[in-house]
Amino acid sequence: MPKNSDRYGSDVLAGDWRRPHKDRVAEVELEPGLVLESADEGFCGAVVAWDKSTVTLEDRQGATRVFQLEPAAFLVDGRPATAVRPSSPSPSPSGPLLSASGSVAVRGASARVARESRIYVEGVHDAELVERIWGHDLRVEGVAVEYLEGVDHLPAIVEEFGPGPQRRLGVLVDHLVPGSKESRIAERVSSPHVLVTGHPFIDVWQAVKPSVLGIGAWPEVPRGTPWKEGVLRALGIREEPGEAWRRILGAVRSYKDVEPELLGRVEELIDFVTVPPAMQD
């Protein structure tokens, strides 16, 4: 495959993917759920409201802080950025505010004491994407997300977890398609208190819509080639997978940026571990 294929676009993530301009500070348009960090005070939170001169952020514990848009300095995914107001108005303080998942956000809510139930995902990138979209919802519900460090560990983790009626376990697996290694491992887990589901993508990167990154499609990687490295090579990107993932994650703002095959499965898992068993029958 050519190094810079037109099929995938020649400028991933608006030109800042391979040749970031050190002298240029990016502008980010305010929107609900956008995560900003104050470069001066270290406060990090999601955007919940703004007006002509200020922006209100809410952190993981439900605490809110108001910052002046100018001359405040912010970081987005660790990089300097200037926050600017969009052409559309801020969400009305008296109307419903939506979280990044599209659910109604709970203003000022402190994180609930963690339930015994848990959601497991395969790795760090999966957990970070789930946090980006459903972080508010999970904190309100008191659901912790942990990762398997590989689906091979699933049977042992389930046995150690000891699931029960009030201690339910939801598991999100990559590439859960008939005949795959992942599906065979999932079939070894049998419990009414465990729900193993998954998406068809080889890696959770594919759950991010290509259009969000300015490419036409995710590249096809030959069998036997590590998928992440193969993707970066096909796109002509000379970065380590970890650095590339930070840029991919930084382009995700809400559920609209993620494929429905992932959205439906995570919503299903959240319902499974939070809705009382009697109400699900």
The low-confidence residues of the chain, meaning pLDDT below 50, are 1-22
pLDDT at 119: 96
Cα 159 to chain centroid, rounded: 28
What is each CA distance from 180 to 63, 89, 190, in whole angstroms?
Answer: 44, 47, 18
pTM for the model: 0.67
Cα 168 to chain centroid, rounded: 22
pLDDT at 5: 42
pLDDT at 107: 57
Place of tokens 């660790």: 78
Dist. CA 273–CA 117, nearest whole Å: 6
Cα 213 to chain centroid, rounded: 15
Q: Do the Cβ atoms of 211 and 234 come closer than 8 Å?
A: no
Beta partners for residue 54, in sequence order: 68
pLDDT at 35: 87
Q: How many CB atoms lie within 10 A of CB 209?
A: 16
Amino acid code (one letter) for 202: I
pLDDT at 15: 47
pLDDT at 109: 53
pLDDT at 114: 60
For the chain, give every domain's residue range.
33-97
pLDDT at 103: 73
Helix/strand/coil for 36: strand
Place of tokens 């050190």: 22
Residue range 20-37, pLDDT digits in tens? 444 567 888 888 878 888
